[in-house]
Structure 1
């Protein structure tokens, strides 16, 4: 078996994928997400959006539609004022900042309808 020689950054991304997958499964089962699960899921979706060709502005907006207050444990939305993710785009690496990523359900639903 050949060894996979992953950089520290690649190892971090792989760990994020695993954490986000677990978070998504728990969310689908109706469990409320805790702090690390919430950060992992939103961060993963931003990284994948960049890979799919979305712009920084699109990802800043999209990041606030992934999870709403009903998806997280009590107090989590107050703990996360912003999430910053360093994502790789076609023209280089950029920092994507999502302000107030966890919104009331009605706001998240309105954004998804647009």
Structure 2
């Protein structure tokens, strides 16, 4: 028997759907791929039986409940599509939210914060400095950057900023527009306070490298 690619795909869907049906009979919750296979197989069968498009979409919403699938599957399966054979030819049937989520249905990837406030950089001393961008274009500085080693077009008290970074959440930062003075707050690094990269002025434990870093910064024009 010679089968076309479409016929082979149909048999694959049917096989996966039969596995899903066995799980349902045994009271086993379906994963997302198993739920998709089951729904697709039922819609392909409905199309062969002559059901029209609106009826198929409505029928898909009656096939599975939240209790029959793994937690999070209703949110992951917000939409799916399957090509079905109808009297007028092949049509793409798209179904939205085929499984109604329960009242406490988890959403994969959602963030559930704990109660109360989280203080950023708790207990660390703050240093407020004024920064002026003397360049001709905006400069972005991210929260992790060693502020002592940022773009030399930024003018500020670099010596006091040694060993510090912006007091901003991870991934955040500050934008410095040309000719505009701006006050920012810095905090000292935590942990081992070993600094590598950036402008290459420190390259090691910040306290041990302080004097060498200051001398290099002066030679390279960072201290003006």
Q: TM-score, normalised by structure 2?
A: 0.44
Q: Does 1 or 2 have the higher relative contact order (CA < 8 Å, sep 6+)?
A: 1
Match of 1:55 among 27, 45, 52: 52
CA drift at 1:104:
4.5
Is residue 2:86 matched to residue 1:89? yes
State the 4+ residue runs in structure 1 displaced beyond 2 angstroms: none
What is the distance in 1 between the residues matched to 2:76 and 2:87? 32
Across the two proteins, how many residue pairs are aligned to each other?
Answer: 102
What is the distance in 1 between the residues matched to 2:19 and 2:98? 19
- The structure number with the bigger radius of gyration is 2
Q: Which residue of 1 aligns with 2:43?
A: 46
Could you tell me whether the CA contact under 8 Å between 2:75 and 2:101 is conserved in 1? no
Q: TM-score, normalised by structure 1?
A: 0.86
What is the distance in 1 between the residues matched to 2:77 and 2:100? 11
Could you tell me whether the CA contact under 8 Å between 1:84 and 1:97 is conserved in 2? yes
CA drift at 1:79:
0.3
Q: Which has the higher helix share?
A: 1
| Unaligned runs of at least 5 residues, structure 2 | 103-224
- Alignment RMSD (CA, Å): 1.0
